Chain A
């Protein structure tokens, strides 16, 4: 592309550190810098895992300096901000005023624009949907250099192609997001031990659970009768203070678990996962947790992705439709367990409605996410086997975490890809705006 803006050549990767590519990096500081970068792939905070925010040909525009607050309505919680603003900053700035993100992913080091382009979800997906559900609108800088307001009423198709569109429809420059009123920074959390997969499915599906946040940490190294052994966790915002009233601040739950790096070997991992199950699963009483510990346990460990070494990791996240979820997850967990490939606890979660975006990941059913330390060919073979299972059960892979999916499998998983392509052709017929992910999945070749 164009642009007289200075750039730096950097070796870049996603959070999984695989793959790694040398890209030209642009760093806009204000609105008119962005105009010069129309057609360059936007990259938020680099927390997508694979190759979604890499472009070794056109370069990437990183957004940490486009983080200004533009407006906030204290009555209805409507926040307008530049898209480089991080969720961490939103939390820090608005928690004290009684507002919080209506949906948050498992890390707060994500930009608003990146969160929308990846159509992220959180522990409350089954009730509150994706973050994008709470986005009133966004400004899209398209390849031709024009800016367009996109929402459910203005340019609705462009809006739906941009949500989950992985930055390929243009640069999200401004966002209007409705925050949620909360009573304070505290959550009431409860853990339940689930000795096997069947039990954790029951817990995740239990309609009498009223807490909006539910998730299960699952031990992917367990097998046989222990397959799917999990700790099911629920959480809800409550009015409390540090003394907690009836609730005690969970001991050791400032960080729910400490993660020493020496644990990264097969024996250590197995022991760690088993210990976690014992300690966390048998906390019978509800306890008090601050929002950072509850929503972002891994953020406290800093660059935890580095413990997998230079080769990095693949974060494998799939979702399977409700009806065949149990059978499918059993097969998937068996395959992972047999390969002895998983490391730390994985996350199992029930999902609600399908995402609105044409390339949104969520669908009603269950989603599993886990880290696979990257070991070259054997890891790629495993993900390919898993992809086949996911396809067979009618599920899909989360693109913002993916680094391995094959073009044909992608097409089998994303039925609205044709709609998305039509919009892409409208906005960028020559595929000026591209990414390593788009090339890998051959998105420009059409259906």
Chain B
């Protein structure tokens, strides 16, 4: 049965996706910074589905720990078939010019993931099978004044994943980029300008379905593909004067 590592496992989308994937015989490592919340998620997953679960602490920004972390994960799971990465955070100001605020956003959303993704890809490439699902964001599709620091990290990540997909496809290893629009989570709850927020359950289900289908880049909710297509088409001389 499938051996799965989930990073950012305390996000509701991760919890719901894990519930969809799990069953007796499956095993999971649920990892995130908040170890206590990971433990609750792991206990819940195990009790509801009969899956074997383990909580571990994972800090994307602590890149020196990543190699030893992955060793522990593989030791617990006895292999590695699927890696789902849903870490990420907007930070206190996703468009800050203050390096003290901007750089940590890059650390969390891009640099830290380049670190762990490289290690994971090496493992999967060596063993010759496996899948990676990683959360990008529609914020990474075009630089906007409201969130371009966060957006540039997500955009960089999307390019990285694209290249990784290109490299690994020959080996039959899938790399799926999930681009989420608004989801009904604590990040959006009660905020202005949020529309058609999808439930984390539905997002988790979509993520799992993407594994079964052949998709490479998945927008969810799906209409965001169209919105972002249009936004990307706007010529820069016009776009630079828009307030988005």
Contact = CB atoms under 8 A, between A and B. Distances in A.
Contact of B37 (A8, A32, A93): A32
B12 A6 contact: no
Interface string B18-54: 0000000000000000101100110110011000000
Interface in A48-79: 65, 68-72
B190 A70 contact: no
Interface residues of B, number: 17
A85 B166 CA distance: 44
B185 interface: yes
Contact of B47 (A9, A32, A72): A72
A31 B37 contact: yes
A29 interface: yes
A66 to B, nearest CB: 9
B189 interface: yes
A6 B194 CA distance: 13
B48 A70 contact: no
A88 B34 CA distance: 29
A147 to B, nearest CB: 11
Nearest to B44: A68
Nearest to B189: A6
Contact of B12 (A7, A25, A29, A71): A29
B191 A30 contact: no
A8 B190 contact: yes
A108 interface: no
Most B Cβ at <10 Å: residue of A9, A27, A30: A30
A69 B36 contact: no
Interface string A70-106: 1110000000001000000000010000000000000
Interface in B123-180: none
Contacts of A93: 47-48
Given A65-B12, A72-B47, A93-B48, A31 B190 contact: no
A69 B186 contact: no
Contact of B41 (A6, A33, A68): A68
B12 A69 contact: no
Contacts of B189: 6-8, 27
Interface string B57-70: 00000000000000
Given A8-B190, A27-B189, A70 B44 contact: yes
Given A65-B12, A68-B44, A71-B43, A30 B37 contact: yes
A5 B188 CA distance: 10
A68 B188 CA distance: 22
B105 to A, nearest CB: 18
Interface string A363-385: 00000000000000000000000
B10 interface: yes
Contacts of B48: 69, 93
A32 B34 CA distance: 9
A7 B190 contact: yes
Contacts of B190: 6-9, 25
Contacts of A82: 40
Nearest to B34: A32
Contacts of B43: 68-71
B38 to A, nearest CB: 10
A70 B186 CA distance: 22
Interface string A159-179: 000000000000000000000
Contact of B44 (A25, A29, A69): A69
A69 B41 CA distance: 8
Contacts of B47: 69-72, 93
A30 B189 CA distance: 14
Contacts of A68: 40-41, 43-44
A264 to B, nearest CB: 33
A30 B34 contact: yes
Contact of A31 (B36, B44, B191): B36
A65 B10 CA distance: 12
Contacts of B34: 30-32
Nearest to A68: B44
A29 B185 contact: yes
A71 B46 CA distance: 9
B186 A6 contact: yes
Interface in A8-28: 8-9, 25, 27-28
B144 to A, nearest CB: 21
Nearest to A9: B190
Interface in B176-218: 185-186, 188-191
A9 B10 CA distance: 26
B158 to A, nearest CB: 26
9 contacts: A6-B189, A6-B191, A8-B189, A9-B190, A29-B12, A31-B40, A72-B47, A93-B47, A93-B48
Interface of B: 10, 12, 34, 36-37, 40-41, 43-44, 47-48, 185-186, 188-191
Given A6-B191, A31-B40, 15 more contacts: A7-B189, A25-B190, A27-B189, A28-B186, A30-B40, A31-B37, A32-B37, A33-B186, A65-B12, A68-B43, A68-B44, A70-B43, A70-B44, A82-B40, A93-B48
Interface of A: 5-9, 25, 27-33, 65, 68-72, 82, 93
> Which 4 pairs, one residue from A and one from B, show the smallest C-beta to C-beta distance?
A68-B44, A8-B190, A69-B47, A6-B190
